[in-house]
Structure 1
């Protein structure tokens, strides 16, 4: 009898383990890393970090590996699409329509760093991101500023945290209603940039946002300008910041 009970216990534990293994995750996000311009060294570190973030927080991260696989049927399984250091014109007209319908259906978007250096000729996408990249100075250490402490995931940036980054200067707002949550103190670094005939930058002044979120066209969009330096993807402060944005974009919950 004791052996029989022991066998039943083993079977029960195996069943519990298998049930937990196959339990439905909180949500699923599609990770897009396509580049048609500059290829960031941090993409590899970012992919690994986001996959680990998914494991730790019980959500699925699927890397888009099929260039022609961005279809409406395929996207039905996802609650958000994440653009990790994408650059240039990465979608054709049909894929752009798929993305627009995805957001209009109530789903979410997360843009990381050079997602703001992507698809300049797609007006709808410009509004989705909120502001587009213009220029940046050399990578430098600067002080961050929390602009909205009510948004989660910013605890690691308290007390003017020093952060080393490629500080983007952004153009004007492409849409109203952007909620700014994190900025950079321009007095703590040299914001000037000179790319010759291509562009020149003087910074954005006292209000230099680097992360924001907004509701757009039926869905949600979160953007952060952090993520150029590969080692940033091992920083708990940044990972918490990313997860808060992904969680909000995928679920609508703050």
Structure 2
């Protein structure tokens, strides 16, 4: 009887998908809290990120509750702020996240999460690397890859037709970033904005995704990702996956591989 049980167990194991038995490579915390213009994306993004996690053997904890920052962040290889107004974190939660980064934690900042009111949390503003001014209406434009060696660009063509809100930013803290994507302002109208606002072009240098080091960690930022259906787009998801992979592991850069 024992031999039969062992045989059956072996057969069941053989029939189960290999992914079930794969060890998780790392843990990702995703905070996605709704705001006035960003809420429909949440279930779509959750499903897509969970699918990416299953496919690429990492764990994802997806939550809309900032109380997660009251707990222990150390198990997470990276924390993703997904369209989340970071000022929703209270002082204690902010302190926990700062300590996490100072201990070598890593961050991914997506679209709306790059916006925080001036002086609300300067440490976070510096972590993002750029400060938000405003954005024109959603338009179709040409996104140019400026760093082909960075994982968040691997799934993209050199020139990418995309429709989004192209944030206008400045650099009051003098933070050095490494641009990955740049939007070509000649391919859309940077002045097409709502009444009462003034749309100001940034010129030839208008980064839409970048990375840099902060405290003792890695930070990847993409300003793309306004519409819910974008989180079903394969190219956009490859862009996010590349940023997640690099932030969580520090691996994947073409130049780093060639130097080994």
* TM-score of the alignment, normalized to the shorter chain, above 0.5: yes
Displacement of 1:69: 3.2
Matching residue of 2:258? none
1:53 counterpart residue number = 52
Q: 1:109 to 1:119 in 2, by over 3 A?
A: farther
Tell me, yes or no, if structure 1 residue 142 matches structure 2 residue 141.
yes
Provide the C-alpha distance between the structure 2 equivalents of 1:4 and 1:37, rounded to a whole number of angstroms: 61
| 1:250 corresponds to which of 248, 251, 257 | 248
Alpha carbons of 1:102 and 1:28: their partners in 2 closer, same or farther (altered >3 Å)? same
| 3-state SS of 1:144 partner | strand
1:88, 1:108 → 2: CA distance? Answer: 15
2-structure distance, mates of 1:83, 1:233: 15
Q: 12, 15, 19: which is aligned to 1:14?
A: 12
- What number of residue pairs does the alignment pair up? 250
Structure 2 unaligned spans of 5+: 253-260
Name the residue aligned to 1:201: 199
Instruction: Map Cα deviations across residues 91-136 of structure 1 (whole Å, 9 max, x no partner).
Output: 1111111000111111110011111113641011001111122111
Give 5+ residue unaligned stretches, structure 1: none
User: Structure 1 residues 60 and 105, CA, compared in 2 at 3 Å: closer, same or farther?
Assistant: same
Root-mean-square deviation over aligned CA pairs: 2.5
1:99 to 69, 92, 97: 97
Q: Per-residue CA shift, 1:29-83, capped at 9, x if unaligned?
A: 111112455434323322221111111111111112444331252x122111101
Q: Matched residue of 1:47: which SS?
A: helix
Whether 1:85 and 2:72 are equivalent positions in the alignment is no
Label 1:181 to 1:67 Cα distance change in 2 as closer, same or farther (>3 A).
closer
Q: Give, in whole Å, the separation in 1 of the partners of 2:112 and 2:129.
A: 13
Matched-pair contact (CA < 8 Å) for 1:178–1:212: yes
In the other structure, the counterpart of 1:181 is 180
TM-score, normalised to structure 1, is 0.88
